[in-house]
Amino acid sequence: MIYKKYRRFLIFIFSGLLGLLSSLTIPAWSHSPSLQVISRPNCSPESSCSQQNADSRALELARDGERRYNAGDLEAAVQLWQKAAETYEKIGDREGMTKSLINQSQALQDLGLYPKACKALLQVFAIPNPNCSVSQIEQLQKNLAQQQDSLTPTQAIGLQSLGDVLRRQGLLQKSQEILQLSLASLSESPAKSAVLLSLANTERTLGNQIRDRWDYDVVTEIIDRKSVADALAPYQKAFNYYQQAVNIASAPPIPKIQAQLNHFQLLLELQKWWSEQTNRRIASWTRFTESKLIQRAQDFNAQLQLQLSQNAQALQSQIPPQLANLTPSRPGIYAQINFAESLLQSAQTPEVENLLKNTLQQAQNLQDKRAETYALGYLGKFYYKQGELTQATKLTRQALMLAQEQNINGDAREITYLWQSQLGSLLRKQRDPKGAIAAYTAAFNTLQSLRSDLNANNQDVQFDFIQEVKPVYTELVDLLLQSNLSNEELNYLIVPNPNINRQKVETKKTLDSLELARRVIESLQLAELDNFFQDPCSEATDIAVQIDNIDPTAAVVYPIVLPNRIEVILSLAGQPLQAVKIPITEPEVNETLDKLYDYLDNSSINNSARNIFSTSNPNPRELKENIETLLPIFAEVYNWLIKPFENQLNNNQIKNLVFVLNGRLQRVPIAALYDGQKYLIEKYSVALVPSLQLISPQKLQRQQLRVLAAGVSEQLKVQGEFFAALVNVPKELEQIKQTFPGSQKLLNQEFTAKTIQKNLQQNFPVVHLATHGLFSSNPQRNFIITGDGQSISIDELSKLLKETGTTVELLVLSACETATGDERAVLGLAGMAVRSGARSTLATLWPVGDTSTALFMGQFYQNLKQPGTKQIEAFRKAQLSLLESLKSNPPFPELKNLPPHPYYWAPYVLVGNWQ
């Protein structure tokens, strides 16, 4: 059973065989450490028969645990090893207890129960009341550092297992440190290979984290410099540790082959990732005929692919003989499936069928049901790739039935959803949309229950979410929007959350295909936010939050980009949902949005608006050409999202448009969508929300509204980087103070983390921070600058806001920006208000001029002061004031007959509660 007290964030640990098996590390002796305990055959004066009987009983329990583990009955193995540990403890056999607890932890890890696995391992080191908090891990490190030379080999293996658990819980630095302790205490032991493998897996995860948090500019610079070394730098330690694990001659075969397999898989992943990134830059530079940049990118990709390919081919030739020599066992089966999956991903299929058939036979011989369901499922995947759909469907159904049987006595949802999803894909391919919807809905229900119960289990596959989990939601939505299922059929598909009282579930609207699709998209938004933050932003709910409950003058727009079209769902108060299909393919959508980004904010493009405006004397002709290129693109996006609903919006007197965005659409300044005559902001107020389910309908209370306004106007050097003076910040803060006399102003040296923390205790509903800052996917580049030359991470700021115990209605990040090209940064911005406890956030998508920001903010607060004015209205009026000012006084005569350039006024976004 999985307990809710372990909730922390959305996690899907099982993106294909325990994270594609890349982190499955079973110590060579971990299946039978208890066999090292010697039982006493006869009574002696020194020992009683009762003690010998207890000793024999403990050994018997440990061996039974081993047998059940090898048969795939993990839950039974956990119970048996727990009893063995308790029995060893009673007779004072510390070594036997330690080995049993380590074995129990391994089984718990295989079940995905990492918090429980961690507690079992802390018992090994006599940590009282283990709860696996960071402070307990740090205390363990401190204790071990003082006795490092006296650690036993068994304790070293326990540390290795703890390092694996910490990696899967996202504590990568702690995992690295614990594994280094294990490695240092093992000397030349054969077990060292397994520890090196674990270290390599942690370094690989760290490498993924670094790489996936690079913003667009960092990746572009690596490509432009043709730096293969920098491209691979995040993984260099992982490469080295994998190789060292293989080179230990005395090591058992399993960790050595696992090191080779994981190394091989990593090389294939890097080939694919860098190819995609390079091709994306080449497409951008082709638009601008940047022939030199294109050639450099092609040279870089050729060099990198050659190096990775040569290394992968060398490993691929070494692996099959090693696999052939393995004794049939659970880790041996998983190793073969790992290799087969890697070959499938790289479209190398000749040997995959026999490999998977062999694993299936071995699993059946060992009566290991979990291994058998994986073998069946991946064999089904192989036949799917080969186009043999009937055979693929048969095997997938068998795998699914076997996984569901495992759910009866244990928990195999992590396996179940894989085969439910694969079955849905197969049935769709065979033109059985009803069957496909049923299968995908089952996968959706399984994932929703995993979201409820497994929020703290495996953060090392954070970005696998996009490849493995997101398609379940999008495929289901795609099918639903084309389905002709009756409402009754649809109502039977969704399984309610067991933690929600069914009587409380809203029944106002019939669950038709559109409503169900909307709910799935809402759930996807929540899932993606939780995955991004590694922290749950909200509780899962069956209650469908409607715009009727929040703002009857608003319409919610849900754009959904699907492979062959865009579907846009419109939600109006008191009316059934509406949807339109825009016949444009996903590649065409991405091409349009990439083009928009290139001309607007891509710093690697000379003629982007960002680069034109960043010069001291912008060229009027370049500006004119730039906006003449941008306007048709903004018009095209307008035609996708707004034009089909113009009549409905007018007829229903809609004032506010609220957008639930995903993917590349998240970096589009929606206010600048253009109908050929006007920008969208000239017709409607605009807000962004991550999900309606996260919106509280309360309006901002205007009585005695007070603002905690802090800012930095001086030039500062922080961590070797200079931040320019923001000379208009004093004026900006003073305007706030004058508008709301009860406000508190903190300027320059008065603005520190401590003063912010102290003043937040005074219950300010609005917090305004006018300082340099950046919001990105990378926590290390995710900060605001304080007046004492320090930086506060956005995570630290969120904690400060939450610790006050009072609700911050509005958080304003003035002069901060989101990282260029970083779509996940915008996703993070969308969820920041929720995570920190603030109801809404006002920020910018790109750097804005100091003077413009002061004008905008001054106008915003003046508007906010007016009785009955919603945040969204105050926000719109402030944007319009900039817009009208630019119309009246264009910066250059050449621009007087064109609409004001969006770069001046459109980066401001209001995210969250717009009331």
Give the C-alpha separation, 39 to 87, whole Å: 13
Q: What is the mean pLDDT of residues 84-105?
A: 91
Q: Among 12-16, 681-685, 891-895, where is mean pLDDT lowest?
A: 12-16
Specify whether domain 707-869 bears CATH 3.40.50.10440.
no
Within 10 Å of residue 798's Cβ, how many Cβ atoms?
A: 20
Tokens (6 digits) for 11: 């996690």
Give the C-alpha separation, 656 to 876, whole Å: 10
DSSP state of 486: -
Helix 413-429 / helix 433-453 crossing angle, nearest 10 deg: 160
Query: Which of 123, 243, 228 minimizes the C-alpha distance to 193?
Result: 243
Contacts of 133 (CB under 8 A, 6+ apart): none
What type of residue sits at position 571? Answer: S
pLDDT at res. 828: 64
Query: Which of 519, 539, 516, 537 minimizes the C-alpha distance to 528?
Result: 537
**Higher pLDDT pick, 459 / 185:** 185
- Rg for the chain (alpha carbons), in Å? 29
Q: What is the mean pLDDT of residues 540-553?
A: 66
Spatial contact of 841 and 809, defined as CB atoms under 8 Å apart: no
pLDDT tier at 779, thresholds 50, 70, 90 = low
pLDDT at 6 over 60: no
DSSP state of 845: S
Phi/psi at 625 (5° precision): -65, -35
Domain residue limits, the chain: 707-869
Give the C-alpha separation, 113 to 108, whole Å: 5
pLDDT at res. 31: 31
DSSP per-residue letters across 491-560: HHHPPPPTTS-GGGS--SS---HHHHHHHHHHHHHHHHHHHHHTS--S---S----GGGT-TTEEEEEEE
Q: What is the mean pLDDT of residues 562-575?
A: 93
Q: What percent of the chain has pLDDT over 90?
A: 49
Spatial contact of 28 and 191, defined as CB atoms under 8 Å apart: yes
Average pLDDT, the chain: 83
pLDDT at 813 over 60: yes
Phi/psi at 113 (5° precision): -95, 70
Q: Which residues are bridge partners to 581 per DSSP?
A: 567
Q: How many CA atoms lie within 13 A of 840 on its CB side?
A: 25
Contacts of 187 (CB under 8 A, 6+ apart): none
Tens-digit pLDDT profile for residues 634-676: 999 999 999 999 999 999 999 999 999 888 898 899 999 999 9
pLDDT at res. 451: 66
Within 10 Å of residue 753's Cβ, how many Cβ atoms?
A: 16
- Check the CA dihedral 330-332-335-340 and report its sign: negative
pLDDT at res. 410: 65
The H or E element that residue 717 is part of is strand 716-718
Give the C-alpha separation, 313 to 234, whole Å: 21
Contacts of 808 (CB under 8 A, 6+ apart): 764, 765, 766, 767, 801, 836, 837, 838, 839
Tell me which range, 87-101, 391-405, 601-615, is most confidently predicted by mean pLDDT. 391-405
pLDDT tier at 691, thresholds 50, 70, 90 = confident
**Higher pLDDT pick, 94 / 459:** 94
Q: What is the mean pLDDT of residues 437-444?
A: 92
